[in-house]
Amino acid sequence: MNESEVENKIITQLSMDCRTSVDKMAPSVGLTRDQVYGRTKKLIEKYDVRFVPQISISNLQKYEFLGISWGKSKREILSKISEDNIEIGFEEYIALIDFKGGEPSDKEILDALGDSYIPQYVARISGQHNLVIYAIARHSSDITEFMYKFMNKLDKFNSIERLQFIYPSFGFFPINNKLIEQIHIQPRYKKMLLLLNSNAKAEFSSLTKEMGGISAATVGVLYARLKEIGLLERPTLYLIKPEELIIKLFIFSIVDRQKFGKNRDKFLLDFVNDKIKNYIFMATIRNPGGGIIFARFKTPLEVEDFKKSFSNIDWGIELSESTVLQNIYGNLGVRNFLPEETMQYKELESKGLVGKVNKSKPKK
């Protein structure tokens, strides 16, 4: 087994659960405990690995309701929501921006973002658009107000925006502490998420002081509870310096819904059997109907092969592409993911199109 294969196995295991112990990793990696420890330490430095919680944005609404209703009667809950004008749940968005009158500097873009909790990732791109923003907001009115202020501050660049509400179905973006601070959950759970956002691999014993002096065992119980209720999907990682230096943003629009519906399962099979190693993030968009894909590649040839998979079959879609040139704010959730853990695989499995015996493994 070469160095690349070892790295791939370690990163995959840590992507699925960054708190996995070296002792558990060693047998599947095929090395001794000490060898795995040494290799892990090296790749953390090599790829600038950050350990973070993958928080379920879609599950926040029901657990926020539990958070504000804790210990209260129905009347008290309704009174609190009404008097404090509390909203629960969040929505996810992608904004694509064109600058028709020159491009703003990084500082001008960061200044335009302000101190809002809403933007999670901002990057310069080339192609049909100049800037992409991944955003999370309480309500459509919040994202509308944020985008209005953002575009106003960059008005001299003759900016045009395209804002899309999205339904993420694969991958994640690391979220910032400002967003976590907005979540309506019990203070201890919120504090736990904030600490995990600094280092999701931290020993529970090292978090006792920040958690108010509670025992390591109690910290472990809080952590287990976050996972049990589904708010913490998994402790995971992202690579700031991935091996794949080419990051693409593809947007596909459905132009023939019948053809797309007919070939959708083929698309998902292609994803879970082979292409999952390329995908960073995938989401459905509404207008026009279609989707967005952030994907990573080592070479231009890999990009062309990826695009051919869309042109070889008449999916009933039109595909456009942009290249991510520079992260300005936040980071992409670049990691290795097992196909068996995706919702796409589970959907195909329920249809009998893939099975436990024939589960595919990500190619190295």
Backbone angles phi and psi of 303, in degrees to 5: -60, -45
Domain made up of 3-46: CATH architecture = Orthogonal Bundle (1.10)
Distance CA 11, CA 47 (A): 10
Note the pLDDT of residue 358. Answer: 44
Per-residue confidence (pLDDT) for residue 2, from 0 to 100: 82
Q: What is the DSSP letter of 333?
A: -
User: Residue 255 is which amino acid?
Assistant: V
* Mean pLDDT of successive 10-residue stretches along the chain, which has 364 residues: 86 96 90 92 95 91 64 58 66 95 95 97 94 95 96 94 93 96 89 97 95 95 91 95 94 86 86 90 88 95 88 79 96 95 91 65 44
Q: Which of 107, 170, 164 lies closest to 137 in space, CA to CA? A: 164
User: How big is the chain by its Cα radius of gyration, in Å?
Assistant: 22
Q: How far apart are CA 175 and CA 117, in angstroms?
A: 9
- Provide the token pair at 227: 């996972």
pLDDT at 127: 86
pLDDT of 66 reads 62
Q: Where in the chain is the domain with CATH 1.10.10?
A: 3-46
Looking at residue 102, its amino acid is G
Measure the CA dihedral 106/111/115/121, to 10°.
Answer: -30
Tokens of 49: 């690995």
Give the pair of three-digit tokens for residue 162.
């395209």
d(CA 121, CA 266): 31
C-beta separation of 348 from 354 below 8 A: yes
Q: Is 116 exposed, middle or buried (0-12, 13-18, 19+ CB in 10 A)?
A: middle
- DSSP alpha helices (H): ranges in the chain? 3-16, 22-29, 33-46, 60-69, 74-83, 106-113, 140-153, 177-182, 187-198, 216-228, 257-273, 300-311, 343-350
Q: Range(s) for CATH 3.30.70.1060 in the chain?
A: 246-350
Single-letter residue type at 278 = N
User: 246-350 adopts what CATH topology?
Assistant: Alpha-Beta Plaits (3.30.70)
Secondary structure element (H or E) that encloses residue 283, with its range: strand 279-285
d(CA 179, CA 79): 25
User: With contact defined as beta carbons under 8 Å apart, do 106 and 328 qualify?
Assistant: yes
Residue whose C-alpha is closest to residue 337's, from 295, 285, 284: 295
Q: How far is Cα 43 from Cα 46, in angstroms, rounded to an integer?
A: 5
The strand pair at 317-329 and 246-254 is best described as antiparallel
Residue 353: φ, ψ to 5°: -90, -20
**From CA 312, how far away is CA 270, in angstroms rounded?**
12
Residue 364: the pLDDT is 42
Answer yes or no: are the C-beta atoms of 182 and 130 closer than 8 Å: no
Q: What sign has the CA pseudo-torsion 88, 285, 307, 322?
A: negative
- Size of the chain, expressed as the number of residues it contains: 364
